[in-house]
Amino acid sequence: AKKWINIRKSYGNFYKVPRNQTKLTIMLEQLGMNYDGRPHSGLDDSKNIARIAIRMLQDGCELRVNERMHGGQLMTVSSSAPLEGAPAPQMPRYRN
Report the pLDDT value the prediction gives residue 40, as an integer from 0 to 100.
86
As a 3-state breakdown, the chain gives helix, strand, coil percent values, each rounded to 5, of 40, 10, 50
Report the pLDDT value the prediction gives residue 78, as an integer from 0 to 100.
80
- Give the three-state DSSP class for 4: strand
Report the pLDDT value the prediction gives residue 94, as an integer from 0 to 100.
54
Report the pLDDT value the prediction gives residue 84, as an integer from 0 to 100.
47
Domain assignment of residue 93, yes or no = no
The model scores a pTM over 0.85: no
Q: Give me the CATH number covering residue 26.
A: 3.30.420.10
Report the pLDDT value the prediction gives residue 1, as an integer from 0 to 100.
79
Domain assignment of residue 91, yes or no = no
Report the pLDDT value the prediction gives residue 80, as an integer from 0 to 100.
59
Domain assignment of residue 92, yes or no = no
Residue ranges of the chain with per-residue pLDDT less than 50: 82-90
Residue 17 lies in domain: 3-76
